[in-house]
Structure 1
Amino acid sequence: MNLDFLIAAVAMAGLLIGLHLMEKRRNATRKPTEQEMLFFLARATETSEFEQFRRAAEAWDISGHKVESDFNRYLFSLALPYYVRDYLRKAGESDPALMGLASSCFTGTLLPKRSCDR
């Protein structure tokens, strides 16, 4: 076996592992985006992102048609409507552990199942 190839392979593996660990550390301390929070809340409650849109719309008395339209817009542009952003903000305030779930997900830890009472 070629010794130069072996040294290069080990160096590349070390570089990739180092980059992975640096990214993991950086992600553990950053605040998740609203889109990520929507994803984490949906996963934690074992629902879909669309269901989270529907739940958010209930507090604002938004029609089902508008919810569907806003969700379709979200799928194409990741733009969250005001009522979903408000819902996510309130969910984060009422359950600060949700932010901890986000950082756990960033670092590769699976999300525990959460209550579906939101």
Structure 2
Amino acid sequence: MAEPASTPATLNIADKLAQFADHWNPRIIGHYNGNEIRVAKVQGDFSWHAHADTDELFLVVAGELGIEYRDGVRRYGPGEMVVVPRGTEHKPFADAECHILLMDREGEPNTGLNPSHLTREKLEVI
């Protein structure tokens, strides 16, 4: 078996989250098979949105994340993960600061099909 060309870098999610303080402004920390691995701090309400052609993965690192769906609300705690299927309208929120890891398709707007004041034109890579 051939050795890999180089040893991959280890990423520390807590270290990446410590690099910023603002809410609802995801940062890209890596790439995986055409997806961006993003981290964000969230608090308060996000906007209703959907992603037409891609699923969206949320993993709660710290705190509690709520997601409102058209048929109800679910809450997720540390270590819990949900994959929101493509086309599903959802509105994330957090009553107190929450830290999350997200996976979205490369270049996918953070507000999907629904631009709002929370849309980030270009995500910072950290």
TM-score for the superposition, normalised by structure 1: 0.28
Between the two structures, name the one with larger relative contact order (CA 8 Å, sep ≥ 6).
1
Structure with greater strand percent: 2
Computing the radius of gyration over CA atoms, which structure comes out larger, 1 or 2? 1
Normalized per residue, which structure has more helix?
1
